[in-house]
Amino acid sequence: MSSDLWSFSLATYARPGVEPACLQLQMAGANVCLLLCGLWLEQRGTDCDEQRVEQLKELVGPWDREVVQPLRALRTQWKTLAEDDPVLKGLREQMKALELEAERHLLWQLEQAAQDWPRDEVSASGQWLESLAGSTASPNRDALHVLRVAATGT
């Protein structure tokens, strides 16, 4: 298992089926960085409780709303136009790199928030993923299962 959240996230995302599962969850309104953090916390054996879940959600909210989502929206908006415009295609690739860097920073913030939480707790449950997915969990159980299975192989 990767010790830092960024490396864990890259290794998990690269596994078969994870990218489409993440995109499905993202389209349903879930925050993929938050879900990857949940998987990382499950792998570390960190106990999931309501206070910790809320702390992570509150940390993600402003950065996701003000930084990540606007970058993603602009990149998505340019997709069709960029097919026929090499300059815009290059700008879109730069936007994609900025979006990834913003997500990397968000993962770093999440890791810092959870760094001192006890690991390998006897009572640790595997509820991080469902708790952080919130209302998107129930209709996307298959996608969450893909993530959980992929994370066990990292």
Per-residue pLDDT reduced to its tens digit, 32-77: 999 999 999 999 999 999 999 999 999 999 999 999 999 999 999 9
Region class of 118: left (phi > 0), else alpha (psi between -120 and 50), else beta: beta
pLDDT at 110: 98
Note whether 125 and 47 are within 8 A (CB): yes
pLDDT at 153: 75
- Which is more confident, 154 or 32? 32
pLDDT at 143: 94
Q: Model confidence over 84-119: pLDDT tens digits?
A: 999 999 999 999 999 999 999 999 999 999 999 998
pTM of the model: 0.91
CA angle 63, 135, 21 (to 5 degrees): 75
Note whether 12 and 39 are within 8 A (CB): yes
What are the residues whose beta carbons fall under 8 Å from the beta carbon of 121, sequence distance 6 or more?
Answer: 45, 46, 47
d(CA 123, CA 114): 17
